A and B are shown apart, each in its own frame.
Chain A
Amino acid sequence: MYAISETDMSTIKKIQGKATPIRIDNLDTDQIMPKQFLRGIDKSGLIEGLLYDLRFDTKGQIKPDFVLNQTKYKDANLMLGGSNFGCGSSREHAVWGLLQFGVKAIIAPSFAEIFYSNAMGNQLLLVSLPTEQVENLMQLAQRTDAPEIVIDVENSQVTCGDLDPMHFEISKRHQEMFLKGVDVVGMSLSYMDEINTFARKHWAREPWVKDVAALAKSRLA
């Protein structure tokens, strides 16, 4: 199983494997995980919904032309995507679905902000590289003898075949989340005294925001 909650984070220093090129810009989270798969109260069963309309026709039959259905890419554990990958809805189900499908990392020219936070928080590594470099990787991935892509998290570098090593940006915090497997909620819980002190001062300055939801609801009762 894949690490899908912050409490069972593992340490990840390097991700390598074959990649599926998905040449779609603005691939939004509605497409990555369509509405009919968002009805659960847990994270199960999302593997079926991943990119459903692209993978299956209206009768539920596999669309053989779509890259993810091609045998050539059946062992791929990386994805190469278009720009603004993961735009739209904040649904984290998109990230859980990708992980359940076996995707460990996605390389694309750019990612939408909420999707980026969701993915990195779940140890789905997102690597942003210039469009030309992503295109080079796509060209290589399409070859029958496609070389593996190696993403070195520690040195924030991507290598593949004969291509020059490619550097990518990753914040120190996100890097540590991979290298050390940080439990973010657990860490913030250790600041609870500080948070309570802050709240008391904050409410002394702005008393009209204290219990703002509870008081509004009780006014309606």
Chain B
Amino acid sequence: MTSKTLYQKLVDSHTVRTIDEQNVLLFCDLHLMNEYTSPQAFTGLDERNIKVPMPGQNVSVVSHIIPTHPVAVRVISDKPSALQATNLAKNCSKHGIPLFDTNDAMQGIEHVVAPEHGMIRPGMVVICGDSHTTTYGALGALGFGIGTSEVEHVLATQTLVYRTAQNMRIRVNGVLPKGTTSKDLILMIIGQIGAQGARGFVVEFCGTAIDALSVEARFTLCNMTVEAGSRGALIAPDQTAIDYVLAKCPDIVGVTREHALSHWKDLYSDKDAEFEKEFTFDASNVEPHVTWGTSPDQVLPISGKVPTPIQVAPEFKRSTEQALAYTKLTAGDAIEGTPIQHVFIGSCTNARIEDLRAASGIVEGHKVAQGVRAMVVPGSGAVKQQAEKEGLDKIFIDAGFEWRKPGCSMCLAMNDDVLTDGTRCASTTNRNFEGRQGRGAITHLMSPAMAAAAAITGKITDVRHFGN
């Protein structure tokens, strides 16, 4: 038997047939859909006059266009957006696909909802018309994003024509220091390997720093690995992952449980498995990280200074100049102390309960700085309920935060949570692209604790020294 990486094992166990040297027909265990990347795919099915063959392996969520105002019953007032939601409900009902609709108590962002209700299990292949589907690698499931044509393909056949990726391993030794999180770690890694450093690869993370992460912290790590251009992220499921899964999956009991545990034991890369590319990092010196530019790899440790176009490698000169022009920062200035006007805590990257606990821990007993608007948008109904049970909502509201309903919200500003031109935002999201949070708005990516500290001081702040 030849040695295989975990990635190769997952591809092999889902290969229906080999198409050619590069492509296989890949079976997809779970297909997640949202309201905006699926409509044209359903239309394609209608044109072919076919029904979804395995509806129970599919699920839909209204997530991207939904308003997050704290009202009892949500109404989508934007007409085209409302049509996307009703159209999704119509399509799901027609094909028998489960749906978390606008006013479902458990509605939320697809990548928060799916794992919290036990839909993600080790060894699965999970796909979605959304790039952040890499999240599920945290549980040893191969997840990746697809376009709408491929959504149609999966709906029609529960498979994908899949071009296999190369294998990359990123080992992270040491343990993350206090005040830093997996968000800081992945921002550091993206900064080191670049926004296309993992293009063509599925990245497997390993090492003591990864072992020490909670499952939710691993979600954040794998979620943002796509920002290095990767086609997937994986962490071999260990006891931490399995405990999480079993707690969410009441159906996996008795004989099934024994069967599943023995199956999941094989989900690791063989000792001699070959990785085409490997990196090793040390977590013990990682600082809190903040982006300064318009690509997630334009990132600095909090003690860092905004780079000058001359300092960077020649191939980055142009993008550095363009980014500085957009973010209105001065080369050579410290990133710490940069004034912000908005704080957004939310998104599929950082809107889970542990994220809200971390942020509320900083906020407690303080007030949002004058001139700053700060909001928390929980990742899902379940996260929101749990936070309210723990009284976190009260901490945020008392400090002057807006406590919103779940959705993608200002991560991509497809609903009415849009920043105005020139507004600078401390954001727990995943992309600092030009105009992402609103035309002319400037995004600084950071961890929930860092964003919380920025809300209180009104400027980018080193959370390690906050309150000293």
By a beta-carbon cutoff of 8 Å, the part of chain A in contact with chain B is 5-7, 23-26, 28, 30-31, 34-35, 38-43, 53, 58, 82-84, 87-92, 95, 110, 112-114, 117-118, 121-122, 131, 171-173, 184-186, 188-189, 191-192, 194-196, 198-199, 202, 205-220
From known contacts A39-B36, A220-B106, infer whether A113 and B199 are also in contact, taking CB-CB under 8 Å: yes
**Any A CB within 8 A of the CB of B94:** no
A30-B433 CB under 8 A given contacts A41-B83, A87-B229, A213-B58: yes
Taking the nearest CB of chain B, how far is it from the CB of A119, in angstroms? 9
Contact at A171–B163, with CB atoms within 8 Å? yes
Q: Are B98 and A185 in contact (CB under 8 A)?
A: no
Choose among B23, B40, B53, B57 the residue that contacts A212 (Cβ–Cβ < 8 A). Answer: B57
Complex: A220 Cα to B124 Cα, angstroms? 22
List chain B residues, Cβ under 8 A from A112. Answer: 196, 199, 229
- Tell me if B435 and A92 are in contact (CB < 8 A): no
Please indicate the chain A residues that have their CB under 8 angstroms from the CB of B146 in the complex: 90, 114, 117
A-B contacts, 8 listed (Cβ < 8 Å) = A30-B434, A42-B43, A82-B319, A202-B13, A212-B121, A213-B56, A216-B119, A217-B117
What B residues does A198 contact at CB under 8 A? 16, 27
- Residues of B near A82 (CB, < 8 A) are 318-319
Q: CB of B135 within 8 A of chain A?
A: no
Q: Which of B123-177 contact A (CB under 8 A)?
A: 123-124, 129-131, 145-150, 152-153, 156-159, 161, 163
User: Complex formed: what's the CA distance from A43 to B47 in Å?
Assistant: 14
Closest Cβ–Cβ distance, residue B232 to chain A (whole Å): 10
Would you call B333 an interface residue if the criterion is a C-beta within 8 Å of the partner chain's C-beta atoms? no
Which residues of B have CB within 8 Å of A92? 37, 40, 129, 147-149
Judge whether B16 and A194 touch: CB under 8 Å.
yes
A171 to B318, CA, bound (A): 31
B295 within 8 A of A: yes
Q: Is B59 an interface residue (CB 8 A)?
A: yes
- Taking a contact as CB atoms closer than 8 A, the residue among B152, B161, B229, B295 that contacts A113 in the complex is B229
Q: Which A residues are in CB contact (< 8 Å) with B131?
A: 88-90, 114
With contact pairs A35-B414, A113-B231 given, residues A185 and B156 touching in the complex (Cβ less than 8 Å):
yes
Please give the distance in Å from A113's CB to the nearest CB on chain B: 5
Closest to A91 in B: B37
Specify which chain A residues have a CB less than 8 angstroms from the CB of B203 in the assembled complex. Answer: none
B149 engages A191 (CB within 8 Å): no
Using CB atoms, name the residue of chain A closest to B118: A216
Identify the closest chain B residue to A115 (Cβ).
B147
Q: Is B158's CB under 8 angstroms from A7's CB?
A: no
Interface pair A213/B48, CB less than 8 Å apart: no
Interface residue B39 (Cβ < 8 Å from any Cβ of A): yes
Closest CB of chain B to A188's CB: distance in Å?
A: 5
A121 B22 Cβ-Cβ under 8 A = no
> Are A188 and B161 in contact (CB-based, < 8 A)?
yes
Chain B residues within 8 Å of A217, by CB: 59, 98-100, 117
Say how far B428's CB is from chain A's closest CB, in angstroms: 17
Task: Report if A25-B121 is in contact (Cβ < 8 Å); known contacts: A91-B37, A113-B229.
Answer: no
Given A38, A53, A131, A191, which contacts B315 in the complex, CB threshold below 8 Å?
Answer: A131
Pairwise interchain contact B195-A38, C-beta atoms closer than 8 A: no
- Assuming the A-B contacts A43-B40, A110-B196, are A216 and B315 also in contact, with contact meaning beta carbons closer than 8 angstroms in the complex? no
A202 (CB) vs chain B CBs: closest residue: B27
* Contact partners of B434 in chain A: CB under 8 A: 28, 30-31, 53
Given the complex, which residues of B lie within 8 Å of A35, measured CB to CB?
412-414
B17: A residues at CB distance < 8 A: 191, 194
Q: Which A residue sits closest to B81, measured CB to CB?
A: A39
- A169–B241 CA distance with the chains assembled, in angstroms: 40
Q: Are A208 and B256 neighbours in the complex by a CB distance under 8 Å?
A: yes
B55 within 8 A of A: yes
Beyond A30-B436, A83-B315, A212-B119, 19 additional pairs, beta carbon < 8 A: A23-B318, A30-B435, A31-B435, A53-B434, A58-B421, A84-B196, A84-B199, A171-B23, A185-B44, A185-B153, A188-B153, A194-B17, A208-B256, A209-B121, A212-B29, A213-B59, A217-B99, A218-B98, A219-B118
Whether A214 pairs with B56 at a CB distance below 8 angstroms is yes
A219 to B440, CA, bound (A): 44
Residues 432-468 of B at the A interface (beta carbon under 8 Å)? 433-436, 439-440
- Cα(A211)–Cα(B44), bound, Å: 24
A114 to B125, CA, bound (A): 17
Q: B183 at the A/B interface (Cβ < 8 Å)? A: no
Task: Name which of A7, A87, A171 has the most chain B CB atoms within 10 A of its CB.
Answer: A87
- Give the residues in chain B near A28, CB-CB below 8 Å: 431, 433-434
Q: Are A189 and B50 interface neighbours, CB within 8 A?
A: yes
- Shortest CB-to-CB span from A196 to chain B, Å, is 8
A90–B151 CA distance with the chains assembled, in angstroms = 11
- Closest 3 CB pairs between A and B? A211-B56, A214-B56, A217-B98
Residues in chain B near residue A218, CB distance under 8 A = 98
* Residues of B contacting A212 in the complex (Cβ-Cβ under 8 angstroms): 29-30, 56-57, 118-119, 121, 124
Using known A-B contacts A28-B433, A39-B36, A42-B39, determine if residue A195 contacts B16 with beta carbons closer than 8 Å.
yes
Task: Give the chain B neighbours of A58 by CB distance below 8 A.
Answer: 421, 439-440
Cβ of B121: which chain A residues have Cβ within 8 Å of it?
A: 208-209, 212
Q: Is B251 an interface position by the 8 A CB rule?
A: yes
Q: Which residues of A contact B145 (CB under 8 A)?
A: 90, 114
Residues in B neighbouring A185, C-beta threshold 8 A: 44, 48, 152-153, 156-157
